Amino acid sequence: MAAEPEPAAEPFRVELVLDVSGSMRAADIGGRSRISVAQQAFNDVVDALPDGTQLGIRVLGATYKGDNKTVACRDTQQLVPVGPVDRAAAKEAIATLRPTGHTPIGLALRGAAQDLGTDGGNRRIVLITDGEDTCAPPDPCDVARELAAQGTKLVVDTLGLAPDEKVRRQLLCIAGATGGTYAAAQSSEQLTDRIKQLVRRAEDTNTPAPAPVAGGRECAGAPLLGPGVYTDREKFAEHRWYRVPVAEGQELRAAVSVTPDRPVHRDYGVLLRATAADGRELVRGTDAGSGRTDVLSTGLRWSASEPEETSAEPDADADDEGVRTIEVCLVISNSFAPVDRADGQPGMPFELVVDVVADSRTPDAPGLGRGWLLLLVLTVAGLVSGVLVGWLTRWWIATWRTN
């Protein structure tokens, strides 16, 4: 039977989002204005794009010159629709830009996500700005979390053109919420190189994305998972439950990685437990941190090979060949506490990896619980040692008195 051909790779989709607010007039990058440096970098990147690239360009703060902030904070447009790259059209659109208005970053991110759509492979937004959002609400960090919670494989990378700490913190927050990156660019060369790197990353559209799953509030009725990689979200101090069938002679392996995508108080942890359906804990894994931690991860292993363990489970079922299967409950919990958000919406993202493999336990060693053999060996060894020590002591005393 001939092997089935691999599916063709989908063209990757990228939207470049450029801040054209009034502050981009500043001439502090090698004596050139920030907008001119960004325009040159865009041209260099467009020239280097592979022919199959699906590229779009969106701007913010580019058209409204008035004093009405309500109008200014709606000023974001898509200059180039997402599609096969037209280099001439893209360069022409960028060349006409002049710094003008406010900085509605949150609204621009929502618009860029809509531009890229939800179908197909991974999508990437590259945000280039020299300042923080001046139009919240919506807060750009909240928008980034909102987009990430939709589970549509969207990543936002951010590039800062000004050495400002508040801007850096906001761009880090946006990138961190979606699994993206933040970088500062202080020259045209740095900006060009960084954008090229991010666009090249977007080419990897064949990497299987974790399957979205919604954990239950208790084991009963929780989703039944097989081997695979899953993604879910968990509120602060919440518990999320899942079920995994494990047959006799198999071993369950599970790991969870939680990303704190917003400020949290110091001293926190994540707990992964495997329990029986009646709540009896089988094994657990923990991880803890304090201060800034990008990811907390922990894992566990549990074997269903012991016949007495399997037969004792009230939820164990046997198939036609007499092989018994247990539904093990996995529960994920955390001890994070938010700094500036009381409701914790949306929950923090985490990734759960589940695998069920052949049992790999080490061979059993003899023990007291296995029989009387080891006890007999220890008794004989103690008796012989006592006799020898007593004999040597008597001999030493007799020799010392004689001398």
- pLDDT score of 120: 63
Report the C-alpha gap between 123 and 121 in whole angstroms. Answer: 7
The residues near 40 (Cβ < 8 Å, ≥ 6 apart) are 188, 192
Question: What is the phi/psi pair of residue 398, to 5°?
Answer: -65, -40
- DSSP one-letter code for 129: E
Name residues whose C-beta falls within 8 Å of residue 114's C-beta, 6 or more positions apart in sequence: none
On whether the CB atoms of residues 168 and 160 are closer than 8 A, the answer is yes
**Whole-angstrom distance, CA of residue 358 vs CA of residue 252:** 9
Question: Residue 34 and residue 97: Cα distance in Å, rounded?
Answer: 12
CA 155 from chain centre, in angstroms, equals 11
Angle at 226 between CA 224 and CA 230, to 5 degrees: 85
Residue 391 DSSP symbol: H
Is the distance from CB of 256 to CB of 272 less than 8 angstroms? yes
Residues 6+ apart with CB under 8 A from 38: 18, 24, 128, 161, 191
Which pLDDT does position 207 carry in this prediction?
55
Q: Rounded distance, CA 129 to CA 112, Å?
A: 15
Q: What is the pLDDT of residue 152?
A: 66
pLDDT by residue for the chain (403 residues), tens digit each? 333 344 455 567 889 999 999 999 988 888 889 999 888 888 888 887 777 778 899 999 999 988 899 999 999 999 999 998 888 888 898 898 999 999 999 999 999 999 998 776 678 898 999 988 999 899 999 999 888 888 667 889 898 888 788 899 899 889 888 888 888 887 878 888 887 777 766 665 445 668 889 999 999 999 999 999 898 999 888 999 999 999 888 899 999 998 887 888 888 999 999 999 888 999 999 988 887 667 888 999 998 765 444 444 445 565 555 568 889 999 999 998 888 765 667 888 899 999 998 886 554 444 444 556 667 777 888 788 877 877 877 777 777 666 5
Burial class of residue 186 (count of CB atoms within 10 Å of its CB; 0-12, 13-18, 19+): middle
Q: Burial level of 370, CB count in 10 A (0-12/13-18/19+)?
A: exposed
Eight-class DSSP state of 184: E
Query: Distance between CA atoms of 18 and 62, rounded to whole angstroms?
Result: 9
**Amino acid (one-letter) located at 246:** V
- Per-residue confidence (pLDDT) for residue 316, from 0 to 100: 57
Largest CA distance in the chain: 116
Predicted local distance difference test score (pLDDT) of residue 201: 66
Q: Residue 361: what pLDDT?
A: 59
Radius of gyration of the chain (CA): 31
* Lookup result for tokens 């990757």: 12
What is the rounded CA–CA span in Å between residue 198 and residue 125? 9
Query: pTM for the full model?
Result: 0.66
Beta strand extents in 291-347 (DSSP E only): 296-303, 317-318, 324-334
CA separation for the pair 183, 275 (Å, rounded): 43
Q: To the nearest 10°, the Cα dihedral for 21, 157, 192, 45?
A: -90
pLDDT at site 374: 67
Residues across the chain: 403
Show the domains of the chain with their CATH numbers.
13-201 (3.40.50.410), 211-358 (2.60.120.380)
Look at residue 204 in the predicted model and tell me its pLDDT. Answer: 54
